[in-house]
Structure 1
Amino acid sequence: MRRTDPGGHGPVNGTSAEESAPPSSEGHGPVRYGPPLPDDGLPVLPELAAVLAGAARRGAEEPVGGGPALLDAACGYWERRGLPAPPGRVAAGPGAPALLLALTAALGGDVLVPRPCAAWWAPYARLLGRPVFHVATPAESGGAPDPYALLETVRRVRDEGGDPRLLVLSVADDPTATVAPPELLHETVEAATGAGLHLVSDETWRDTLHAPDATVLLSPAEMLPDRVTVVADLAGALLPAGWPAAVARFPAGATGGALHARVLDILTALGARLAGPVAVAAGHVLDEPEPVTARREAVVRLHARVAAAAHAAVVAGGALARPPQAGRHLYADLEPLRAALGAHGVGDAQELEDFLTARLGMPAPGGHRFGDDLGALRVRFATGPLLGGTDAQRVECLTSPAPLELPHVQRALMSLRSVLDDLRDDAQRWEPPR
């Protein structure tokens, strides 16, 4: 039987738009092409490079789940965020995907995710043969499903013989760059608890809030300590993407202890260990020394400014987008420009991806990569490519008091505005007279 999403987004029988999307002209199929996390575009912090270089002679294997020094650093990191955990409830892995794969395998059952969601969540469940069900998000933000749509989806899946056990969500979201309001998150967590689901909270972007004094970020683990596992990929704010490392914090109680042990078993079977030098670098950044925190704050400020300018260009060009609140990206809906895009042969998200990537000279993954409908004209823009084409230009952005006034940044933003403005003007010319 074909299961349907109560949020009005089509099939939820474990097949999303991402799976059914045609491959692009470069041969990027739905499995082989997963948009990477938006990179900060900047050279490695020199102090951090020195830490890695100092550990380069370390040839011993890092224990599965992380050694004592790394786990102590992870515990301190969570403690400073109001999420205390003993070392026996923390694990590290070579990137968040490895940890999510192990968690999904350990928990079993069907998986629920919001629509849209991070591009890397669903493929790992499908790799294990687990159905994935996308649930609509509310208008206010992405990352967390609407509680009523969640309950309806769980009911329908169970009525059709499914076994939903896991909900993956994100309070600071990729792809939408929004932060779920605490009141909405509370309702979603309550609904998930009532439905008997375990929650995995992806908090990769929690340290990249654009306005930290004005944005309230609450972890589901603060609301539900015994039902939530928190995962954070350090590529979000602390490490270069090419040094894969992530940490997970497991729930309190016997259930959390058993889950932690099972995840370590699976990581062992996968051989999913951090490289020794990377483990040293990960422990260093998790301790948050002043050079690391100063660099992180500077990078967040830079990308917040560029994201706000890109958002203004997108909205002025006639597209729709929520104001970005976190991360290094924004999510745009070009549905108001459908008629103009149709003249260029663009009728779905894959064609939109190809069109914008070619026109802008930068990756512009379509919404179908994130579980959104293939027919919807949605796209994620990253801010990293707007900082320039060389390390020198990108460093200049970081050190400039007015990065938006730099010529190479202005040219990049002008290119984005020009493409969208042309589409807007075409759409307006073709509007029927009222």
Structure 2
Amino acid sequence: MNVTLSATLAANEDIERRRRAGQRVLHLAFGEAGLPVHPELRRRMSEASGNNGYGQVAGSAELREAVAGYWSRRGLPTDADLVVCGPGSKALLFGLMLALGGDIVLPMPSWVSYAAQAEIIGVRPIMVPAPPGEGGVPDPDLVASAVLHARAQGRTVTALLVTLPDNPTGRLARPETVRRLAELARNLDLTIISDEIYRDLVHDPVAEYTSPAEIAPERTIITSGLSKSLAVGGWRIGVARLVDHDLRDRLLAVASEIWSSAAAPVQHAAAYAFTEPDELVRRVAESRRLHGIVARAVTDRFVKAGASVAQPQGGFYLYPEIPGFESSADLTAALIEEHGIGVLPGTAFGDLPGAPRVRVATSLLYGETSEQRIAALRADDPLALPWIAESLDHLEKGLAALTGTRRIRVDHAAFGAPANVIVGVSTPAW
């Protein structure tokens, strides 16, 4: 097993170490929602703090009913008995891979933990590039041949995973793509796992959201949580909408041996959150607006510096490519070592080693204190706030210096001087 510390967590620790040493680093490497917990959620957590007993493995009845209502309001009627809760959707995804067994089709690029979790349990991921202009889904034109080829080699392929909208690209798959994938899953007898933890943070006003559960409800599992929409990543609460009781029993068997049950006080607060009271609906809407404004502003800085990048549509990520670098590792190192900009290399997401693409997370730009972050959330123009404006200025200057240095090297190479870079743009994976 060749598994190391998660790339996102490792990058976060490295940036914090550099900051403690006095280095100025713009933190664009960690996908934390970057906002304070809503006061009503804190109150609900506090009122249940005396509940210190083990609960049901599947989660409390109160929470499962609330989650069933959440999905039902989105046009997906849900049986509360087929809802399972856990300590984060990350744990549930791991449990689902164990419960399903067999190899899994993943989009390339895709979130760092999918392939790592598969490797931990001995499952081999089948990486299929996303369609041009999209993210979070394997290209339907390539899936069937990849699955049939793997099966011809004697491999058991049981599942296909999508992320709607996507981390790392910030893109949302088109409804037609989701429909084709759902139909392929039927034809190939694949279970779909749809990671929809960013669903409520789609900030592109014209993007159409389609879950594969709308097309193939009998074979689509959905995972979600509150880490992103309500910024409670540290509370570790996730939920899954399952397809049948057999899978539920297998997942609960896994859960009973790994995490027993999610923390009771967190479940109590989450049950309130999933009923979607007005004050939390407003908070999610404010968050969605802020994420979109800042993500687009960061995208504009990369475009100005000559990067190729698709406009983000949801969450707080973008996935730019900057030509003139031998690899994403080369680009990542140059950004942090020379210009104080921390990002993650595309290889962490399963991308091609020679592709100079990086994952940029924008959600830690909102401020260092709760007061600053609330101000960002409420501001008519958050980009005018001094701390956000300063961060964007740091980014713009760093990118200008980065691309200027590379142009000098390219010019030298053109006149016959030695250069250690490859000039050109590879085909984007999104």
Secondary structure at the aligned position of 2:234 is classed as: coil
Question: What do the CA deviations read for 1:139-191 (whole angstroms, capped 9, x no partner)?
Answer: 12011111121111112211222111111111211111001000111112222
Matched, 1:144 2:130: no
CA distance in 2, matches of 1:302, 1:104: 34
Matched, 1:74 2:44: no
Cross-structure match for 2:328: 349
How many angstroms does 1:285 deviate by? Answer: 0.8
Secondary structure at the aligned position of 2:233 is classed as: coil
Cross-structure match for 1:44: 37
What are the residue-to-residue correspondences of 1:304-315 with 2, within 5 Å? 304-315=292-303
Question: What do the CA deviations read for 1:228-264 (whole angstroms, capped 9, x no partner)?
Answer: 101113212135110001111112xxxx221111111
Contact 1:55 1:277 in 2 (8 A): yes
Matched, 1:426 2:405: yes
Structure 1 counterpart of 2:94, one-letter code: L
CA distance in 1, matches of 2:248, 2:195: 17
CA distance in 2, matches of 1:226, 1:64: 24
Matched, 1:246 2:238: yes
Which residue among 189, 209, 222 is the counterpart of 2:202? 209
Secondary structure at the aligned position of 1:49 is classed as: helix
Contact 2:134 2:173 in 1 (8 A): yes
Q: Relative to 1, partners in 2 of residues 1:136 and 1:50: Cα closer, same or farther, differing over 3 Å? A: same
Secondary structure at the aligned position of 2:85 is classed as: strand
CA distance in 2, matches of 1:391, 1:174: 25
Which residue among 286, 289, 293 is the counterpart of 2:281? 293
Which residue among 324, 330, 339 is the counterpart of 2:312? 324
Q: Relative to 1, partners in 2 of residues 1:112 and 1:80: Cα closer, same or farther, differing over 3 Å? A: same
Structure 2 counterpart of 1:312, one-letter code: D
What are the residue-to-residue correspondences of 1:102-181 with 2, within 5 Å? 102-181=95-174
How many angstroms does 1:109 deviate by? Answer: 0.8
CA distance in 1, matches of 2:268, 2:331: 42
How many angstroms does 1:111 deviate by? Answer: 1.2
TM-score (norm. length: structure 2): 0.87
CA distance in 1, matches of 2:302, 2:37: 30
Cross-structure match for 1:413: 392
Cross-structure match for 2:225: 233
CA distance in 2, matches of 1:305, 1:167: 32
CA distance in 2, matches of 1:25, 1:375: 24
Structure 1 counterpart of 2:156, one-letter code: D
Matched, 1:218 2:210: yes
TM-score (norm. length: structure 1): 0.86
Q: Relative to 1, partners in 2 of residues 1:354 and 1:273: Cα closer, same or farther, differing over 3 Å? A: farther
CA distance in 1, matches of 2:332, 2:219: 38
- Which stretch has the larger CA shift, 369-378 or 144-153? 369-378
CA distance in 2, matches of 1:36, 1:84: 37
How many angstroms does 1:24 deviate by? Answer: 8.4
How many angstroms does 1:275 deviate by? Answer: 0.4
Of structures 1 and 2, the one with the larger relative CO (CA 8 A, separation 6+) is 2
- Which stretch has the larger CA shift, 198-207 or 131-140? 131-140
Cross-structure match for 1:8: none
How many angstroms does 1:402 deviate by? Answer: 1.0
How many angstroms does 1:17 deviate by? Answer: 13
- Which stretch has the larger CA shift, 190-199 or 136-145? 190-199
Q: Relative to 1, partners in 2 of residues 1:36 and 1:226: Cα closer, same or farther, differing over 3 Å? A: farther
Contact 1:62 1:279 in 2 (8 A): no
Structure 1 counterpart of 2:358, one-letter code: V
How many angstroms does 1:192 deviate by? Answer: 2.4
Q: Relative to 1, partners in 2 of residues 1:222 and 1:380: Cα closer, same or farther, differing over 3 Å? A: same
Question: What do the CA deviations read for 1:67-95 (whole angstroms, capped 9, x no partner)?
Answer: 11000000010111111111111111111
Structure 2 counterpart of 1:367, one-letter code: G
Cross-structure match for 2:264: 276
Q: Relative to 1, partners in 2 of residues 1:36 and 1:241: Cα closer, same or farther, differing over 3 Å? A: farther
Structure 2 counterpart of 1:391, one-letter code: S
CA distance in 1, matches of 2:4, 2:64: 38
How many angstroms does 1:390 deviate by? Answer: 2.5
Secondary structure at the aligned position of 1:376 is classed as: coil
CA distance in 2, matches of 1:19, 1:392: 30
- Which stretch has the larger CA shift, 65-74 or 232-241? 232-241
CA distance in 1, matches of 2:150, 2:6: 19
What are the residue-to-residue correspondences of 1:259-274 with 2, within 5 Å? 259-274=247-262
Cross-structure match for 2:22: none
Structure 1 counterpart of 2:217, one-letter code: P
Cross-structure match for 2:21: none
How many residue pairs get aligned? The number is 398
CA distance in 2, matches of 1:15, 1:166: 22
CA distance in 2, matches of 1:37, 1:94: 20
Contact 2:136 2:165 in 1 (8 A): yes
CA distance in 2, matches of 1:44, 1:358: 33
Question: What do the CA deviations read for 1:361-390 (whole angstroms, capped 9, x no partner)?
Answer: 564111111111232211111112222223
Long gaps (5+) in structure 1: 1-13, 29-34, 339-346
Matched, 1:400 2:411: no
Contact 1:318 1:420 in 2 (8 A): no
Long gaps (5+) in structure 2: 16-27, 416-430
Contact 2:340 2:398 in 1 (8 A): no
Structure 2 counterpart of 1:395, one-letter code: I
Cross-structure match for 1:59: 52
CA distance in 1, matches of 2:367, 2:11: 26
